[in-house]
Chain A
Amino acid sequence: MTPILELRNGSKDYRGVHAVRDVTFTLERGEVHALLGENGAGKSTLTKMLAGVVEPTAGDVLVDGETVDLRTPSEALRRGIAMVYQETSLVPSLTVAQNLYLTDKKHFHRLRGIYIAGQQFLQSLNFHVDPTAQVSALGAGQKQMVEIARAVHHNAQVIIFDEPTATLTPEEKHQFFSLVARLKARGVSIIFISHALEEALQISDRITVMRDGEHVVTDVTSAFDREKIVRAMVGRSLSDELYGAHKDRKVRRPGKKVLSVQNLSMQNVVRNTSFSVFAGQVTGVFGLIGSGRTEAAKVVAGVLKRDFIHGGQVTLNGRPVRYRVPRPAVRDGIIYVTEDRKVEGFFETMSIAENIYLGAMAGGQSRATTVSMAEMREFAKHWIDALSVKAINGDARVIELSGGNQQKVVVAKALVQKPKLVIFDEPTRGVDVGAIAEIHHLIERLADEGIAVLVISSYLPEILQLSDRILVCRQGRIVEEFEGHKADEETIMYAAVH
């Protein structure tokens, strides 16, 4: 049978760097095809070639066996190929319904009509999103739902999902998987890019693994297991390195108490919570979404303000501190590495060097009124090498990097400020397995060097692997503490939900 979509010997170069090299990829009608690989493996570039976003340097795209020249996404859409991006491509100032009907010139201005139609359409997909809501007011998960709904709305025969579940809650993920099953039943073919290997194993029919821009293996899903996929992705076995037997590792002894949070309150999100963080240790904080862990960390770092009246007390090295903005916190050595790096982590229009140097300036290391570009590049090069950021050079824009490398830039920007306390909020969200290992090693190295490290994560194996002590957050409070090597997933989860 002729594949519905095919890339034959496709290659794509960016300024002499091979993003994709001589890859042949086929998508059968009605199949769910998972495309896996580390960040920077070329998955997104490959799918962008199929969706008309980028033109291949060499090779052909075939739709239903016919060679086509897809120059724009709208051209691809006309041929029934839609792509749901990792970074949402919605117009934030428009409503949900307007975004759904953005290309429909006939109905776009008939607001009442598109709101009713939008409501019915979203309900048919079981997406609980208000069609009259402005997109900028939606959460990340709801934005992703609208993206998916838009692709489905265009009656696409091929839908490419780039990291669709990264921002979804477990319930939303469940709905998404049901939707994929329904689409598949209607004969829609799906390409599914994900870093969550279990999801790929769960919903796909075939799996293709890429590495360094090249095709590694394609086979039916039943021929894979997690270990085999990881080996194909990184060329070595990483399972133990990533989430190995945490009970066997040595727990670091605590140093001096660096941070003491006492009876901290912030509206009804953080409620009279207390905890400490010690030098030379990784303190992990586990909690479900909405448990107040991120907000408590943000109050510590001056990103959010605690309650004005009886908001509690935060002491840093025995000194009470109260930050209204992050700058004095940074000056005092508290660094918060955000969970939402694209919005809060870096300036996407700036280069790697500029972003890293900005970190140094924020930390008060450079008070010069003019910036020496040579000095800035030299400074950035040191950190790019130190953290193994994969980029052509420091002048590359951060937005062009893969998720893992973006995260490394965000971490570099933090570390140049010579911190005493580093708070990592979801440090490996949207990061591939190879980069996860590197970021984990980096976090451990910081603790070994005597820095106090607080890691917030929703992923239990990560918390168990990294933490010397584990705090569990529930309903705005730290409710339980475990020693890293004695805890297990079941007891931690029990504390988080009961």
Chain B
Amino acid sequence: MIAALIRTLDNLVGRGEAAVTVPPLDGALRPNRKLDEATDRYPLADVDCLTVVDEALLASAGNAVYQLDGQEWQQRGDYEAEVACIASAGDGGLAVALATGEIVMEGGGFDGRRYNAGVDIRCVTAIAVSGGALYVANGSADNFADEWQLDLLQRNASGSLWRIDLDSGEGTQLADGLAWPAGIAIYSDGVVVSEAWKHRLVRVGPGNPGTTQVLYADLPGYPGRLSPADDGYWLAVFAPRSQLVEFVLREPGYRDRMVEEVPQPFWIAPKLRSGQSFYEPLQGGGVKHLGIVKPWAPAMSAGFCVRLDRDFQPDLSLHSRADGQTHGVTGIAEHAGRVFAAARGHGVVIALSSGDLADDRGDEQ
């Protein structure tokens, strides 16, 4: 009763759970323009996920997987359904997850085998292979991967994490009730999952499956895929948080009507790329001034990559601001001394050398 009263009061004055706030981009997350300043840019429409297999950089886009050959992308294979994500399977193998929920192994010791964690798994957002097992993040039990905005607006937390034994093909659920798990990192102390709708990184297991421990919370964006870095991990944050979206997420009636009546491109929701239509929300003075997009505007999309240390704490970040051209980063990979980031919003993969990263680090002196 008292809790309900407090909740009502909080709703009235906008505090506690009802506080419509967004964490600042400061410290290691301080904005810069490094993603836009990258001179090595490799356009690839609908590029989504990156991985490195046999010293080659691979990218998924649409129904195909591509390989970077010099300055050009060469198609390496195509599939019967859209590729949801890809991951290196070790010993030269590639794991390709399809939008149908099926995972196809190519090359390596399990070449040609197909896996499925469960019949209801149709929203694979990330996969990782380690220790003879395939780890699968299922973003939602209710929506498909391309319906991620709807899943956020429904405030779902129906995602799950699965482990598939590569020999037997048997799937085991490690955790459920996750709010759009979108990235997986395997390390000695367990499996780390990025929970996009809760803006956090959580550790699952390993000794006690089903339990989670928060490693980093309150990110100022929606965390996506995790990938190994030289001395830690890369986290692709596919969209920024904004106070307007946070406000809409606290208004169920408004959300329902918006989803029902407004065309999807014009929803008040994070996007991989925004500012393409005058009808998009926040196109007035909030984003533009005298026709020029303000870099600091609370836009619905941005480019945002975070390098995490071994304890999964932010170490440095790469940005493309509201007026940038590298929005919606969904995948990152380190390859040949360079960092590649796939910006799905603008359909481009950019590359930065380690020297480009170093000059923004505080510990280089």
Contacts and interface: CB of A to CB of B under 8 A. Distances in A.
A445 interface: no
Interface in A75-109: none
B27 A469 contact: yes
Given A263-B22, A276-B27, A481-B30, A310 B13 contact: yes
Task: Give the top 9 A-B pairs by smallest Cβ distance, nearest first.
Answer: A274-B24, A262-B21, A313-B19, A310-B14, A263-B21, A313-B21, A309-B13, A251-B362, A318-B217
Interface in A294-326: 308-313, 315, 318, 320, 322
A238 B314 CA distance: 37
A274 B363 CA distance: 24
Contacts of B30: 481
Contact of A320 (B16, B243, B313): B16
13 contacts: A251-B365, A253-B363, A257-B27, A262-B21, A262-B22, A263-B22, A263-B243, A274-B23, A274-B26, A278-B27, A310-B19, A318-B214, A468-B362
B218 interface: yes
B339 interface: no
Contacts of B27: 254, 257, 276, 278, 469, 481
Contact of A485 (B15, B24, B362): B362
Contacts of B218: 257, 260, 315, 318
Interface string B24-50: 101110100000000000000000000
A256 interface: yes
Nearest to B29: A276
A483 B15 CA distance: 32
A256 B30 CA distance: 15
A250 B363 CA distance: 7
Majority SS of interface residues in chain B? loop
A320 B23 CA distance: 12
Nearest to A249: B365
A483 B20 CA distance: 29
Given A276-B23, A485-B362, 13 more contacts: A251-B363, A257-B27, A260-B24, A262-B19, A263-B243, A274-B21, A274-B26, A276-B24, A276-B27, A311-B13, A311-B14, A322-B16, A478-B24
Nearest to B31: A481
A364 interface: no
Nearest to A484: B362
A261 B19 CA distance: 12
Nearest to B14: A310
Contacts of B363: 250-251, 253
B19 A312 contact: yes
Given A309-B14, A315-B218, A481-B26, A253 B21 contact: no
Nearest to B214: A318
Contact of A469 (B19, B314, B362): B362
A340 B102 CA distance: 67
Q: What is the size category of the interface that chain B forms with chain A? A: 20 to 34
B14 to A, nearest CB: 4
Given A318-B218, A483-B362, A485-B362, A262 B24 contact: yes
A255 interface: yes
Contacts of A469: 27, 362
A275 interface: yes
A325 to B, nearest CB: 17
A176 to B, nearest CB: 38
Contacts of A247: 365
B217 A262 contact: no
B265 to A, nearest CB: 28
B243 A322 contact: no
Interface in A459-498: 468-469, 471, 478, 481, 483-485
B362 A313 contact: no
Contacts of A322: 15-16
Contacts of A468: 362
Contact of B23 (A249, A262, A478): A262
B24 A313 contact: no
Contact of A250 (B16, B314, B365): B365
A309 B16 CA distance: 11
A155 to B, nearest CB: 56
Most-contacted residue by chain A among B13, B24, B243 (CB, 10 A): B24
B21 A275 contact: no
Given A251-B362, A251-B365, A481-B30, A275 B13 contact: no
A232 B12 CA distance: 63
B359 to A, nearest CB: 10
B26 A275 contact: yes
Interface in A419-457: none
Interface string B118-155: 00000000000000000000000000000000000000
Contacts of B313: 254-256
